[in-house]
Structure 1
Amino acid sequence: MKKYLWMLVAVCFLSACSKDEEEGPYVPWRPGDQTEETIELDKATKVMILTEQSKNRILMIDQPTGKIAWEWKAADSGLSVSEQAWFNTPDEAKPVYNRTCVLVTASGGGVALIRIADKKVLFYAKPGGNPHSAEVLPDKNIVVASSTGNLLSVYVYNEDASYVSKPAFTMPVYSAHNVVWDRTRNCLWTATGAQLLKLSYNGNRTAPELSQVYSYDMGTGNTMAHDLAPVYGEEAMYVTTVEHVYKFDCKTAKFSDVQIFQQKDIKSLSTGPEGYSTIVMRPTSGGSNWWSAEVCDLGGNRLFNRAGYQIYKARWYVENPFGYPEVHTL
């Protein structure tokens, strides 16, 4: 009888463990994958753009296979040694111009527009002040947000000279971390502190100016805005702060809470068309570090992981109908 009771207890224990495992988070990626393999970009199916800081590079990863579809380093770009240092610690990479180019910023002080086909640097500058994001404006000018510089800088794009030595316009914005163009409302958005700012742009390519139209307050308890990204297929944006994640409806000008596995310290979110998960970057390196080796979804499920990587932001390599027209070329 005692033997039977012990067997019954063991079966119950094993059943409980099995149930716990079944109800745990789904991990659709291979844990601890360390091998770098490559694939042609035109053969990749779902591509993520990563700012990978361990080797100061921009990577395009085919998410289903984990293979590298494209890579850019400043050291391979023809820039001088001093200019290459501007692109240390890359922190943003956005696909622009119908995905023919990538717009990159780096904490080393630089901003660059890179043509994907041949990796040529079409535009670059050094705003300094820890550039954290950039955006292309309708007239091809480029606006940069510098966080410790507390500044938005607008550069005049020049087809004849890739290097632009100084901005044509600057605007003080506290802890400027992000910029997003809104094609429908013909305005520029930037989140700062606990506010979302709506800015107008004069559209004068040679004498550009930005000015504040309105400010929208986030909930109490927010201290520092970080990421701002369009929600694919909606007139809305995700806004992250140190403390919270919101969705901002541009039509109603209202913030709503986002159901996400972690509210604090989200570095980036990115969405895509049907079949694409919302990808999330948050630090997992501990201490005062700000990077992670993995990309996950809103539920915390791992979508990509590579030992040794130091990923800061991740974006889907998809079109951006929120900001750009269907045909969007240089």
Structure 2
Amino acid sequence: MSYKVAITEQNKGQILVFDRTAQFTDANVKWSFSTGNAPGWDHPFEIRFRDTRRYGAIALMTFGSPGEGRAGIVNVTSDAHLTRADLLWSTRITSYPHSIERVPDAGTVVVAGSRDRLHVFGPSSSDLATLKEVQTLEFTKAHAVLWDDQSNLLWVTGGTVVRTYRVKATMRAARLEKAGPDITIAGNGHDIQPDYARPGTLLVCDSHHVYALDKATRKVTTIASLAYPKSYVRHSSGQAMWTTDPNVDDSEWGGRSVHFSTGGDRSRPGAQIYRARLYTTRFH
């Protein structure tokens, strides 16, 4: 099964894209964003690809350490190997940003700060450089945010909660409004992704579990028990991909391997891989 995989490699401050069937070596890097581990730009946590009418495909990213972080957006199609000089937009976020999402049509960008904040940014035009923070909400241990274009809901997880929001208005007037009942998980919610093999289902992971979440009924079912999963997703073929923190007693937030349910794992010696994402702009 061949598809592209993006990883957040925290040791060297890089986001790297590989073919799933290739070894994850420097020679096989298909696309990259490198930060130089500048202050606030160390430890990449999120990478997500989305389509826009103005720019084509863009990459949304978050980085940082407690008290000093960044969110940024680059144009994926501009070059194969990008740096901070290529940013279309970036902003400082001190709440330790772990995830970022863009809501199409509204033009809104939402950043999950794991120090208990959701940051909502709205633009004044289609120019991403005009994004400005328009709303800040409290959300305990916010770690992951995902837009669902089927139900027009923003899903967020952190702590022992999965919560949904509607996006009211657009551009600088955009605001999040809580919608529907909260969903309780064992906690500490770390990731939420589509299940590309099962429409209508999301995949949520916390400190020790992976759940299938039925979007219609909001029922959660445990599908895997893992030690400290940081990301989990399923390709349309049914192949699952995940990352874990193999040693929670050290200062690193990930390991050197990306795990797959079939076909063999992929590793980078010395790497600290926090999340692995499918290289796709699809929401479901």
Partner of 1:252: 217
Residue by residue over 1:43-77, the C-alpha shift from the partner in whole angstroms, topping out at 9 and shown as x without a partner, is xx5211000011101100122122211111134xx
Which of 223, 241, 249 matches 2:187?
223
Three-state SS of the structure 2 residue aligned to 1:126 is: strand
Partner of 2:276: 314
Which structure 2 residues correspond to residues 251-330 of structure 1 after superposition, within 5 A? Answer: 251-258=216-223, 260=224, 262-274=225-237, 277-285=239-247, 287-288=249-250, 289-298=252-261, 302-322=264-284
Q: Among the aligned pairs, what percent are the same residue?
A: 24
Partner of 2:51: 97
**Cα distance, 1:136 vs structure 2:** 0.3
- When normalised by structure 1's length, the TM-score is 0.74
Q: Does 1:203 align with 2:169?
A: yes
Q: Which runs of 5+ in 2 are unaligned?
A: none
Do the aligned partners of 1:104 and 1:112 also contact (CA within 8 Å) in 2?
A: yes
Segments ≥4 residues shifted beyond 4 Å: 158-161
Q: Does 1:144 align with 2:141?
A: no
- When normalised by structure 2's length, the TM-score is 0.85
Partner of 1:63: 20
Do the aligned partners of 2:108 and 2:170 also contact (CA within 8 Å) in 1?
A: no
Pick the structure with more strand per residue.
Answer: 2
**Cα distance, 1:263 vs structure 2:** 2.6
**Cα distance, 1:218 vs structure 2:** 2.8
Specify the code of the residue in structure 2 equivalent to 1:140: G
128 and 97 in structure 1: CA distance in 2 versus 1, 3 angstrom threshold: same
Which of 144, 151, 154 matches 1:188?
154
Q: How many equivalent pairs are there?
A: 264
Pick the structure with more helix per residue.
Answer: 1
Residue by residue over 1:182-207, the C-alpha shift from the partner in whole angstroms, topping out at 9 and shown as x without a partner, is 11111111113222111111032112
**Cα distance, 1:216 vs structure 2:** 3.1
Specify the code of the residue in structure 2 equivalent to 1:121: L
Three-state SS of the structure 1 residue aligned to 2:29 is: strand
Three-state SS of the structure 1 residue aligned to 2:217 is: coil
* Structure index of larger Rg: 1
Q: Does 1:110 align with 2:70?
A: yes
Specify the code of the residue in structure 2 equivalent to 1:146: G
Q: Which runs of 5+ in 1 are unaligned?
A: 1-44, 76-80, 323-330
**Cα distance, 1:242 vs structure 2:** 1.2
Do the aligned partners of 1:280 and 1:296 also contact (CA within 8 Å) in 2?
A: yes
Residue by residue over 1:127-180, the C-alpha shift from the partner in whole angstroms, topping out at 9 and shown as x without a partner, is 2211000100122221000001x111111235556375x511111111111111
